[in-house]
C-alpha cells in the first residue's frame, strides 16, 4: 500500500483530485457498489483517459464529479475541484461550480439536449445562468462564436436538435459545454454513437480545443485505442476500480494488467481454445457488481490467474511503464519471476 500513499502525495495543486471515491446504488437485495475507492488527479491542461467495459463505473464517476447522481446513490470520498470538495459544498455553491468550472459532454447527444428547444437557446441558457448580465444580443453573438468554434455555422443556433446530424449534435453539445469557459471538461463517451469518420473529426476537434483553451480533459471510453492518440495518461477501470494507471503510450504498448491486454486487443490467444471463441476481445462478461468475485475481481476471466488470485484483492504495484497496476503478477514475493508479462 506504499504505492497508494505516494500517489496521494503527488496530487497537491492539481485541477481535479479525486480521493477514494465510492458510489453505492441501493437495490432490493442490498447496496450495489458501482465505484469502489477510486483515486486520480487531473492537472490543468492535462488529458486523462478513463477506459473500461460498460458497467465498470466510468459513467458513474463522470456524474459523481458534478454530483449528478440520483439522490438515493450513496457517494463517499472526496472530489476536490480547485481545492473545493464538490461532494460536501452547499447546493448554491455547487450550482455555481457546475458548468462554470467543469462541464460535461454527455454520451449520446441525441438525448442529452432538450428536443423541444432550439440549440441556441439551450446554449444561451447556460451563459445567462453564470453571467447574469448578458443581454440578448451578447448572448446571440456568443452562441454564434461558440458554434463557429466547433465548426458549425452560426445559423444552426435556430435549429432543433433533431435537425442536426449525429456529429453536428455532438459538436453543438461541445459548444454548449464550452459556453462558460470551464477549466475542466468531462467527455463521457462523446463519440460512441458516431460512425468512424465523424468520430475522428470530433476527436480532433476536442484535441484542438483542449490545446487552444488549455482545458483539463477527462475522456471516458471503452475504446483504448482512441485514448492512446488523445491522452497524456490513462486509467483503466474494472469492476468499479482503477486497475492500471500510467502514461498513455506505455499502457497501450506494454500493459501490466492482464485486463488492459484484453482491452488493447493484445491478449495471447494462440493455442488456447477458450480464447478462440472470443476473437479480438475479452472472453466472458464483466462481473455483476452485486456478486463480485472474491480476491481479484478479474480472476475468473484472467488468462494468467494463479493460486493467490481468488483470495487476495491486489493493491497497486509500481509497473515497468512508470505507472501502477493492481495485479498480483507484479508482487515480487508471490510471483518471483517478476512483472514480465
Partner 1 sequence: MGARRYLTAKVVQALFTLAFVLVFNFFLFRILPGNPAQILARQRRLPVEAVRELERDFGLKDPLPQQFVNYAGDTLRANFGISFKFRRPVGEVIQGRIWPTVLLVGVATIGSTVIGLLIGIYGAWRRGSGFDMGSLGFSLVTYAMPEFWLGMILLILFASTSGLELFPLGNIRTPGGPASGIAHLLDVGRHLFLPALTLILALLGEYALIMRSSLLDVMGDDYIVTARAKGLREAQVLRRHAVPNALLPTVTLVALNLGFVVSGAITVETVFSWPGLGLLTVEALQAPDYPLLQGLFLLFSVAVIVANLIADLIYGYLDPRVRVA
Q: 140: number of CA atoms within 13 Å, CB side?
A: 5
Q: Would you say 69 or 250 has its CB closer to partner 1?
A: 69
- Burial category of 296 from C-beta neighbours within 10 Å (exposed 0-12, middle 13-18, buried 19 and up): buried
89 lies in the binding site for partner 1 (CB under 8 A): no
Region 149-208 residues binding partner 1, contact defined as CB under 8 A: 160, 162-163
Judged by CB under 8 A, the stretch of 4-12, 25-33, 98-106, 134-142 that binds partner 1 is: 98-106
- Burial category of 32 from C-beta neighbours within 10 Å (exposed 0-12, middle 13-18, buried 19 and up): middle
- Burial category of 47 from C-beta neighbours within 10 Å (exposed 0-12, middle 13-18, buried 19 and up): buried
Q: Would you say 29 or 116 has its CB closer to partner 1?
A: 116
> Is the Cα dihedral 195, 196, 198, 204 positive or negative?
positive
- Binding mask 120-149 toward partner 1 (x if CB under 8 A, else -) reads -----xx--xx-------------------
98 lies in the binding site for partner 1 (CB under 8 A): yes
Q: 94: number of CA atoms within 13 Å, CB side?
A: 13
Q: Would you say 95 or 155 has its CB closer to partner 1?
A: 95
Please report the DSSP string for 179-202 in residue order. Answer: TT--SEEEEESTTTTS-HHHHHHH
Minimum distance from CB of 113 to partner 1 (Å)?
A: 6
Minimum distance from CB of 225 to partner 1 (Å)?
A: 26
113 lies in the binding site for partner 1 (CB under 8 A): yes
- Number of residues forming the site for partner 1 (CB under 8 A): 27
Q: Phi first, then psi: what are they for 183, rounded to 5°? A: -85, -25
Region 27-66 residues binding partner 1, contact defined as CB under 8 A: 63, 66
Q: Would you say 39 or 59 has its CB closer to partner 1?
A: 59
- Binding mask 216-255 toward partner 1 (x if CB under 8 A, else -) reads ----------------------------------------
Q: Locate all alpha helices (DSSP H) within the chain, ordered by sequence.
A: 2-9, 58-65, 91-97, 109-112, 119-130, 136-149, 166-177, 196-213, 224-230, 248-253, 258-263, 273-276
**Using CB under 8 A as the criterion, which residues of the chain lie in contact with partner 1 when the complex forms?**
63, 66, 68, 95-100, 103-104, 106, 108, 111-117, 125-126, 129-130, 160, 162-163
Amino acid at each position: 500500500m506504499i504505492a497508494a500513499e505516494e500517489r496521494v502525495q503527488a496530487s497537491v495543486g492539481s485541477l481535479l483530485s479525486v480521493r477514494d471515491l465510492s458510489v453505492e446504488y441501493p437495490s432490493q437485495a442490498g447496496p450495489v457498489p458501482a465505484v469502489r475507492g477510486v483515486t486520480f488527479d487531473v492537472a490543468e491542461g492535462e488529458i486523462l483517459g478513463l477506459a473500461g467495459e460498460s458497467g465498470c463505473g466510468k459513467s458513474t464517476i463522470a456524474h459523481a464529479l458534478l454530483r449528478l447522481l440520483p439522490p438515493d446513490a450513496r457517494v463517499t470520498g472526496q472530489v476536490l475541484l480547485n481545492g473545493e470538495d464538490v461532494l460536501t459544498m452547499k447546493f448554491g455553491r455547487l450550482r455555481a461550480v457546475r458548468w462554470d468550472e467543469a462541464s460535461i459532454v454527455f454520451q449520446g447527444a441525441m438525448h442529452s439536449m432538450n428536443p423541444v428547444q432550439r440549440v441556441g437557446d439551450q446554449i444561451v441558457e447556460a451563459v445567462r445562468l453564470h453571467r447574469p448580465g448578458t443581454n440578448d444580443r451578447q448572448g446571440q453573438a456568443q452562441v454564434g462564436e461558440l458554434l463557429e468554434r466547433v465548426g458549425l455555422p452560426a445559423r444552426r443556433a435556430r435549429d432543433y436538435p433533431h435537425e442536426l446530424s449525429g456529429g453536428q449534435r455532438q459538436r453543438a453539445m461541445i459548444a454548449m459545454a464550452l459556453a462558460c469557459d470551464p477549466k475542466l471538461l468531462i467527455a463521457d463517451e462523446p463519440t460512441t454513437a458516431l460512425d468512424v469518420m465523424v468520430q475522428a473529426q470530433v476527436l480532433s476537434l476536442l484535441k484542438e480545443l483542449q490545446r487552444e483553451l488549455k482545458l483539463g480533459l477527462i475522456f471516458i471510453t471503452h475504446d483504448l485505442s482512441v485514448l492512446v492518440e488523445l491522452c497524456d495518461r490513462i486509467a483503466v477501470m474494472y469492476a468499479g476500480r482503477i486497475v492500471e494507471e500510467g502514461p498513455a503510450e506505455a499502457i497501450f504498448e506494454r500493459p501490466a494488467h492482464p485486463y488492459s491486454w484484453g482491452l488493447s486487443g493484445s491478449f495471447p490467444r494462440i493455442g488456447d481454445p477458450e480464447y478462440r471463441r472470443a476473437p479480438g476481445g475479452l472472453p466472458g462478461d464483466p462481473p455483476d457488481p452485486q456478486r463480485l468475485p472474491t480476491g481479484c475481481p478479474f480472476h475468473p476471466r484472467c488468462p494468467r490467474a494463479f493460486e493467490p488470485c481468488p483470495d487476495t484483492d491486489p493493491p497497486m504495484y509500481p509497473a515497468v511503464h512508470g505507472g501502477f497496476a493492481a495485479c498480483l503478477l507484479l508482487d515480487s514475493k508471490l510471483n518471483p519471476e517478476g512483472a514480465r508479462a
